[in-house]
Amino acid sequence: MSQFLKAIGLFAAAFVSSVAVLSLAAISDPLPPDTTYRPLPTRPFSAVKADDEAQKQQVMQRQASLLNRRYDMSDRPIAGVMMSGGRKAVPGGVRVKLQSGTTWENLAEMSPDEIRQRSLLPEGFLPLPHVKQATGGQVIPDRQIDDIRRQEARDLRRFDVNFDLPDHLTPEFPPPIFLTTQPHLGDVSRGQLLTIKNFYEVMNGIITPVQMEGLRLLLTPFPQEEFNQTEDRKVAEQSTGITCLDCHANFHTNAAFHLTPDVRPQAARFRLDSTSLRGVFNQQIHGSKRSLRSIEDFTEFEQRTAYFNGDHVSATRKGVHLPDRTNQVAMMAQMQNIIDFPPAPKLDAFGRLDRARATEQELAGEQVFFGKGRCNECHVAQTSFMDNNMHDLKLERFYQVGHTFNDFVTLPDGPIKTFTLRGIKDSPPYLHDGRLMTLADTVEFFNLVLGLRLTQPEKEALVAYMLAL
């Protein structure tokens, strides 16, 4: 230690004697290159794979421990409420666990400062870590992996991690598909997962040639950061890659997740829960953070972002697919633009409840939504329950920033896009990172964050209302 103190002394002396006149900019070193860029692997594939496999059990245990500390993960559906395809019950109840000594009511009475100072924010309200933050990348749920293996003999199973949420807290699989161009047909999926092997048979006669070509491209595997042919992959065999609909299953979502491409360093990249593409025709901004202004931009740029984490340098090495903007991108966009929301028979043309069809509780919930709850100020009913804007909820008022959970650094979210609430019962988990497991959780979250002080009947009415959207 004395050597170290001597070093400080030398250091200070050097300061005093320094007569540097150069401008700071000219001599300031940048941070290390891999704070921004993806580093190349340091060892052979087989050595990395062996270590990854050895770590896997510990990785999954650590994540399960975090999830069980934060949430009640049990299988408790809402009685009699199914998702739109009728194949899965909607999970119910508040799942976020309170810190000991608090109730939702007394928490709502406290100021953000008090909650932060006493560390009383329920941990489940914090950003949710990726199952293996240091590696990150796309993680696909088992049902999708199994169906793709069966239909295409393509392997989506990672050797380093598994999907971390139980099946009952994810969307129904495969999700139904509703088309704006064929509303009279209802679900056109035939209960199948659309793949490169079956799409033509399922969709011929229903969509146009241009849409068909767009669909083919959306179902074609292309190299991706974890699924590719190089030693820098997380799947056992050299892989032909990933398709757009491997995550956006049947143009909805299967709750596959990855890390935001928009933030560095790696430890700060927050988790992203795959968003549904239903109703994307009415959406003016795309991506939680990027606010891309068209579905064409989104489709084109996802090859840089969802596929390669916003690192075009790594993409170039692994074989990036850059779809032709005026031809392929346009067709992919046209296919996505006919994907409709699921039917909501209780809503009128303005997105308001039909009084003849809605229950008393749903109507009460609508009143809260447009009144005390202030939900409608961003989730505007007339524009498919979104406002095509990004908003910053400033959750960091309630917690001390910079703490690390499972190698993920908890930092302010900043502005995030308003997501639609149409068909919302079909897409647990909730928020951009999937940190909330049920709609009841979202009500408690916004009750606290917006300082709404809703009563228990008001909270329950809001959930009932959202189930009708």
Partner 1 sequence: MRSLAQGLAVATLFASPAFAQIGNPAGTEPDTRQSAPGIPAPHQTNAQDQLFAQQAVIGGMAEVALGKLADRKAHNRAVAEFAGVMIQDHGKANEKLASLAGSARIPLPNEPDAEHKAVHARLERLSGAQFDVAYLEAQVQDHQKTAQLLQWEINSGQDAQLQRFASETLPIVLRHLRMAQDLASQIAGQTPRELAPATTGMGHQDQPRRTR
Q: Which residues bind partner 1 (CB under 8 A)?
A: 1, 4, 6-8, 10-12, 14-16, 18-22, 24, 27-29, 31-32, 34-35, 39, 41-43, 47-48, 50-55, 58-59, 61-62, 65, 69, 112-113, 116-117, 119, 132-135, 160, 232, 265-268, 394, 396-397, 400-407, 409
| Cα angle, residue 355 at apex, residues 354 and 359 outer, rounded to 5° | 105
DSSP code per residue over 399-466:
S-TT-EETTEE------EEPPP-TTGGGS-SBSTT--B-SHHHHHHHHHHHTT----HHHHHHHHHHH
Backbone φ and ψ for 409, nearest 5 degrees, come out as -90, 125
Of 14 and 79, CB closest to partner 1: 14
**Min separation Cβ 320 and partner 1, Å:** 20
Rounded distance, CA 326 to CA 323, Å?
9
**Min separation Cβ 429 and partner 1, Å:** 21
**Min separation Cβ 321 and partner 1, Å:** 23
Structure tokens at 229: 């042919």
Of 22 and 349, CB closest to partner 1: 22
Residue 332's nearest CA partner among 280, 296, 370 is 296
**Min separation Cβ 47 and partner 1, Å:** 8
**Min separation Cβ 180 and partner 1, Å:** 41
Rounded distance, CA 318 to CA 141, Å?
24
Rounded distance, CA 95 to CA 122, Å?
11
Of 61 and 455, CB closest to partner 1: 61
Of 113 and 354, CB closest to partner 1: 113
Rounded distance, CA 251 to CA 337, Å?
10
**Min separation Cβ 169 and partner 1, Å:** 22
Of 91 and 127, CB closest to partner 1: 127
Residue 250's nearest CA partner among 204, 210, 203 is 203
Residue 279's nearest CA partner among 385, 415, 171, 172 is 385
Of 28 and 326, CB closest to partner 1: 28
Strands (E), 35-92: 77-82, 89-91
Of 81 and 268, CB closest to partner 1: 268
**Min separation Cβ 230 and partner 1, Å:** 11
Of 116 and 372, CB closest to partner 1: 116
**Min separation Cβ 132 and partner 1, Å:** 7
**Min separation Cβ 400 and partner 1, Å:** 5
Of 185 and 401, CB closest to partner 1: 401
Contact predicate 217/332, CB 8 Å: yes
**Min separation Cβ 272 and partner 1, Å:** 17
Of 4 and 350, CB closest to partner 1: 4
Rounded distance, CA 152 to CA 158, Å?
17
CA atoms within 13 A on the CB side of 50: 5
Pairing of strands 404-405, 271-273: unpaired
What would you report as the CA-atom Rg of the chain, rounded to the nearest whole angstrom?
24
Backbone φ and ψ for 114, nearest 5 degrees, come out as -65, -45
**Min separation Cβ 130 and partner 1, Å:** 11
Q: In 291-347, where does DSSP find H-type helix? A: 295-301, 312-318, 330-336
350-357: long-range contacts, CB 8 A cutoff, minimum separation 24: 350/381, 350/382, 351/381, 351/382, 351/384, 351/385, 352/381, 353/465, 353/468
Of 121 and 277, CB closest to partner 1: 121
**Min separation Cβ 133 and partner 1, Å:** 6
Of 66 and 368, CB closest to partner 1: 66
